[in-house]
C-alpha cells in the first residue's frame, strides 16, 4: 500500500513568487522516494541518493555564498583601512619615513648604547 508521510512545510524567498514566497512541502513515500513540492507547479521525486546529492549541492552553494560574503566584508574593511590610514607620497612624508628607517645621522646621545656595560655608569655618555 502506497503512503506519503508529511515531513515539513516551509516558505522560502523566491523572486518569482513576490512577497508571499514559495511554498515548499516535503514528503517521504512508502516506495522509498523523497518528494519535494515546489509551489503548485513543480514536484521533484527522487530516491535517497538523489536527496543526498541535492543536500550536498545545496551545502556547496551555501559555502560559496559564505565565501563571497566574507570576500565582500574583507574588501570593505580594506577600503575603510585605506580611508582611515591614507598613504601619502609627499616630500615631508618621505623625510619622516627616512628618519624612522634610521637613514639620517644619529646624534651623539642617540649613538650611545645604554646597555653597554662600560658606558652604563658614565654620566657624560647618557
Predicted confidence pLDDT, tens digits, the chain (126 residues) = 999 999 999 999 988 877 889 999 999 999 999 999 999 889 999 999 999 999 999 999 999 999 999 999 999 999 888 888 766 666 666 666 665 555 566 677 666 666 666 666 666 655
For residues 50 and 67, is the Cβ–Cβ distance under 8 A? no
Per the structure, the count of domains in the chain is 2
What pLDDT does residue 55 have?
Answer: 96
* Measured distance CA(6)–CA(105) in Å, rounded: 83
**Residue carrying C-alpha cell 646621545:** 109
What pLDDT does residue 121 have?
Answer: 64
My answer on whether 14 and 57 are in the same domain is no
My answer on whether 52 and 96 are in the same domain is yes
Whether the model pTM is above 0.75: no
My answer on whether 9 and 31 are in the same domain is yes
Tell me whether residue 90 is in a domain.
Answer: yes
My answer on whether 26 and 58 are in the same domain is no
My answer on whether 34 and 53 are in the same domain is no
My answer on whether 65 and 82 are in the same domain is yes
My answer on whether 24 and 58 are in the same domain is no
DSSP assignment of 19-65: GG-EEEEEEEETTS-EEEEETTTEEEEE-HHHHHHHHHHHHHHHHHH
Domain containing 52 equals 48-100
Tell me whether residue 126 is in a domain.
Answer: no
For residues 43 and 25, is the Cβ–Cβ distance under 8 A? no
Amino acid at each position: 500500500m502506497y503512503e506519503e508521510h508529511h515531513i515539513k512545510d516551509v516558505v522560502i524567498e523566491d523572486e518569482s513568487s513576490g512577497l508571499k514566497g514559495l511554498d515548499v512541502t516535503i514528503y517521504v513515500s512508502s516506495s522509498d522516494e523523497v518528494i519535494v513540492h515546489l509551489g503548485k507547479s513543480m514536484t521533484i521525486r527522487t530516491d535517497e541518493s538523489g536527496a543526498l546529492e541535492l543536500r550536498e549541492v545545496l551545502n556547496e552553494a551555501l559555502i560559496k555564498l559564505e565565501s563571497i560574503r566574507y570576500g565582500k566584508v574583507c574588501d570593505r574593511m580594506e577600503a575603510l583601512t585605506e580611508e582611515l590610514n591614507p598613504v601619502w607620497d609627499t616630500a615631508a612624508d618621505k623625510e619622516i619615513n627616512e628618519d624612522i628607517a634610521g637613514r639620517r645621522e644619529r646624534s651623539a646621545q642617540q649613538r650611545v648604547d645604554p646597555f653597554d656595560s662600560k658606558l652604563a655608569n658614565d654620566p657624560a655618555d647618557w
